[in-house]
Chains A and B, each alone.
Chain A
Amino acid sequence: MQGPVFKGDQSGFTVTPRIAIRIAMLGGVALALFGIVFFRLWFLQVLSGNKYLAEANDNRVREVRLEAPRGDIVDRNGKRLVSNRPSWAIQIDAQRWPEGAERRRLYHNLSRLLGKRSSSLGRSVKKQFLALPFSNATVDKDVSFREVSMVLEHQEDYPGVTVSRIFERSYPHGALGAHLFGFVREIDQKELNGGKFEGAALGDRVGKDGLEREYDQYLRGRSGSTRIQVDSMGRAKGGLLTTRDPVPGQQLRLTIDRRVQEVGERALATGKRLGGGTAGAFVAMDISSGEVLGLGSDPGFDPAVFTRPLSQSQANALLRGNNAPYANRAITSGYPAASTFKAITSIAALESGIYDQATTIMDGGKIKIGDRFFSNAGEVPNGPVNLRRALTVSSDVYYYNFGRLANAKGGDIIQRWATRFGFGKATGIDLPGESKGLVPTPDWENSQPSYKLGGQTVDPVWTVGDMANLSVGQGDLKVTPLQMAVAYAALGNGGNVVRPHLGMRIEDARGAIEQDLEFGAQRPIPGSAANRHAVLEGLRAAASAPGGTSTDVFSDFPEPIAGKTGTAEKPPGERDQSWYIALAPYPKPRYVVAVTIERGGFGAEAAAPAAKLILARLLNVSVDPKELESGSSRTR
């Protein structure tokens, strides 16, 4: 056996069959591999081509959000209350957020540029990405143009950093109306899933409270976007692909009159000063339409505080510290109404037939109900009092007696009428967070949980004393200043419970009407006009007749008004709460003004002079605030 002879024997060589087979196998492997490659190409390019094309386009297109400026909020005369100012924000793009040493370098550079601490900057960014993983994290807002230029020109030092032009809310009148507007913040995941903010997208800012929240759908507008082509490093290449312009938000015109609002807020300060009060609220409203001309709460705050990141201590100061300035006391605080409630008790007395207009009660300064005495303030006797006189001098005995009779008759007479006037339920004003207040009934009292007092367990039971307290607006009754205004409006407008509102209409950016806001039908309450007239007469006398609780406050006031003081009793050692509710001009009232001053003392001391200032503005008469004095009445 001899194999082929090589080296020098060049002719006649052929591969042996064994090797030929192996070569054939090599060819077979190649053939199989070609088959696999062709099949795979077919799969990628023909069968899945659309999917990969979409991914390729996804790769190269970056969408840059263009924020829409929110609509302005103007007063009824078109005066700007809330507007926008453009601002630069330095943000970090979630998709280009560097890691490790590069991230530390970025924070270091940013902290040097912005004068912030690198560690707190990093914490803030991380927190934002945890909350909104695909949104940009804002490092700083309101940065100067120099800082913007630095970032743009030295992108290598600021990897992943973008600069965007945003709009911040601005408040031309500072703290004026701060409690009405609320604030805007970036929408969160829960709100995105909920139905309230329809059409809002990730990264949009929406109203989180107040009118901003209530009218968000109009004010927000629609953010636009620019689609740009970028390369793998995120650098823009080849210009804009498409742009969708942002649609600016619509303008909201309020029923608020800026001048009334201004005077009202000043009046609260005056009332506080006169009565030594600590806080307060006012409402000024058109009694037939429910248009709110002014609504304020004291202490106030600067709404612009929300355009910057809020520190925990700032938030605490707003929500809790120093009389909780963020609270809108006009709609969220439930107070005892005190004697201002007597107007409603009067209607209940007349309509139930227990009293008539002439019913006269001997007011000896106190009355025994059940096993204890109920007395006027300072046990001052008023002599014989009928309805008119009882309202004029604010006789408690007259109403205690009615409470005793009404309780004996049963059927929750006072409570039923209170409910008809809108107490115990929200007025439906176009602001979030309104309190319902409380009208205590026997059923309610009897279902209250028992409590410990002096080592003894007390099981709450409704007594005639509770009804007596309710008849003068004390006890467990809780009302908001706005509810008081609505109830008095119903007295003055012929018996209609209006729905108070701040929104008047939606307009385009130039003020052209786009949509009038509708607030539904008013709710008429039963009862005779004569009875309401009798009560109004009593309220008029209280502000004008000799001995009237606010007669001296309004003695120099050129327009006739009707009004009732109230003094909510507080525990010993704490000053009482001062109330005043007025209807003006009398006898055909157009406006209602409700004022309360916490710790302001008697109604005539703080609230009545404050109401006088507001009424002067509404009725266009002049009152010199410097000559304003507390009323002398020391009744409730």
Chain B
Amino acid sequence: MSAVEIQPSQGTGAHGSLSELRTMSVTGFDLPLLGATIGLLIASLISINAATTDDIPGSPDYYVIRQGVFACVGLVMMFFVSRIDYRILRDYRTQIYAFLVGSIALVLVVGSAARGSRRWIDVGGFELQPSELGKVFIVLVLAAFITDRVRDRRHGLVTLKVLGLGVAPALLIFAQPDLGSALVYGAIVFAMLFVGGAHWAHLTAIAVAVLAAAVMILGVAPAAGVDILKPYQVDRLTSFLSPEQNPGAEGYQQIQAQIAIGAGQRTGRGPDGATQTQLNFLPEHHTDFIFAVVGESFGFVGAAAVMSLYALLLWRVLKILTGARDMFGVLISAGLAAILMFQIFVNVGMNIGIMPITGVTLPLMSYGGSSLIVTFIALGLLQAIASQSFTQRPPRGQVQTI
């Protein structure tokens, strides 16, 4: 018998009741996770401040003030989300999915374009990027979907359906085109199938298919004259292998980022002496390449400190994952962990020259409202899962029989 028999105790039982919400609220946050979050937020503000002083003549604090406002909104959202019973979200999976696909499709129709791609919707003066919020939503939808079919989780049909659910919005995002975000969706789907218990054979098949597709798209198709990716996207994905041979825009970014980080040496050149950043040799220095700003201005010490905060963050996320009170929580945690891990390593990797340039932002560090607020929402969800887990709750004399 592996079933878990649960002895109802007072107040617990029905999920989502107001009374339970109240009891949850008194239990604590995961403090190390909160600490890492605040630490990275401060690092972000310092770095954006250092990088953008001269970017807009006359308003040296433009970006840092805006990022600060986004952070405040995000913090409020995080606290709010962390106080709700995440389990109620399972009931709204259909609506969430409909909203997710709808909003992303809407971008393709009415979105505002920037640098050749449509990613944003203008809502009352704010540029919203639905694909960002969509990352959290797809995690919720897939978590609910897999939880519903937990007994059939090793079944091929379930795996296929999960794939289908995840790939549909990813394709819409790819069409914007926003290759980086589309890849994040792919990482989410794979991670959730993996943690959700999909059959190894299915996972292997997916991995092989992805590899084959990559070879087709990057190597065979362009050679045959069929452009699935735009040529610049292929360049971005492959130029990191030999940036010196691609001294054009893509190789240039990669080389400049590496020079910036390397020039920081052990303790950094300080914000004023960071010439790569200040003289704009480093492109996108407040968004995609913010990590290079840290590396140049604050050296190995600064970069290592930021990476340590990320290590702390990911450790706590995995910790929350293992301690979740139910499969839904486990899967949500796994999906959010996948988002964070994927974005951290792909972004940092592209900064230090070991990953292709994909336009993936660095969570909590890169400038950008949608990205930052959505990351806070994700962290809020994780805090909710943490605070509602058994390990966080004081024992109240329940009897657990295993």
Contacts and interface: CB of A to CB of B under 8 A. Distances in A.
Interface of A: 1-16, 18-20, 22-23, 26-27, 29-30, 33-34, 36-38, 40-42, 44-46, 48-53, 55-57, 59-60, 229-233, 237
Contacts of A59: 256, 259, 275-276, 279, 281
Interface string B292-318: 000110011001100100110011001
Interface stretch (B93-101, B346-354, B368-376): B346-354
B281 A232 contact: yes
B4 A42 contact: no
B300 A9 contact: no
A15 B330 contact: yes
The SS class assigned to the A binding surface is: helix
A12 B262 contact: no
Contacts of B324: 13, 15
A15 B334 CA distance: 12
A12 B390 CA distance: 8
B77 to A, nearest CB: 25
Contacts of A6: 147, 150, 326-328
Contacts, number: 181
B399 to A, nearest CB: 10
Interface stretch (B113-121, B227-235, B263-271, B357-365): B263-271
Contact of B262 (A5, A36, A53): A53
A91 to B, nearest CB: 23
Interface residues of B, number: 69
A532 B150 CA distance: 127
B31 interface: no
A229 B279 contact: yes
A229 B151 CA distance: 66
A107 B82 CA distance: 63
A38 B279 contact: no
Contacts of A38: 304, 307
B195 A41 contact: no
With most chain A CB atoms within 10 A of its CB, the pick from B4, B150, B300, B398 is B4
Nearest to B389: A13
Nearest to B400: A12
B356 to A, nearest CB: 15
Given A12-B400, A230-B279, A41 B300 contact: yes
B2 interface: yes
A12 B322 contact: no
Closest 9 CB pairs of A and B: A52-B262, A49-B265, A12-B4, A56-B263, A231-B279, A45-B300, A232-B280, A44-B262, A53-B263
A489 to B, nearest CB: 65
Given A59-B275, A60-B275, A231-B280, A37 B349 contact: yes
A6 B15 CA distance: 12
B321 A23 contact: yes
Contact of A233 (B195, B280, B304, B322): B280
A314 B303 CA distance: 65
A98 to B, nearest CB: 14
Nearest to A53: B263
B262 A34 contact: no
Interface string B363-402: 0000000000000000000000000001000000010101
A41 B303 contact: yes
The SS class assigned to the B binding surface is: helix
B80 interface: no
Nearest to B267: A45
B12 interface: yes
Nearest to B301: A45
A19 B195 contact: yes
Contacts of B398: 11
B4 A56 contact: no
Contacts of A42: 300
29 contacts: A1-B2, A3-B2, A3-B150, A4-B150, A5-B6, A7-B90, A8-B14, A8-B15, A10-B325, A12-B390, A12-B400, A15-B324, A18-B197, A22-B194, A26-B318, A26-B334, A30-B318, A33-B341, A34-B310, A41-B295, A41-B304, A45-B264, A45-B303, A52-B258, A52-B259, A55-B262, A56-B281, A231-B281, A233-B280
Nearest to A10: B325
With most chain B CB atoms within 10 A of its CB, the pick from A5, A23, A56, A233 is A56
B330 to A, nearest CB: 6
Contacts of A233: 280
Contacts of B260: 52, 56
B330 A19 contact: yes
Contacts of A45: 261-262, 264-266, 295, 299-300, 303
Contact of B6 (A11, A36, A37): A11
B191 interface: yes
Given A23-B321, A36-B354, A9 B258 contact: no
A567 B248 CA distance: 73
A52 B327 contact: no
Given A6-B150, A12-B5, A26 B259 contact: no
Contact of A55 (B3, B259, B337, B349): B259
A42 B264 CA distance: 11
B352 A44 contact: yes
A18 B199 CA distance: 11
A11 B390 CA distance: 7
Interface string B335-348: 00100010001001
B242 interface: no
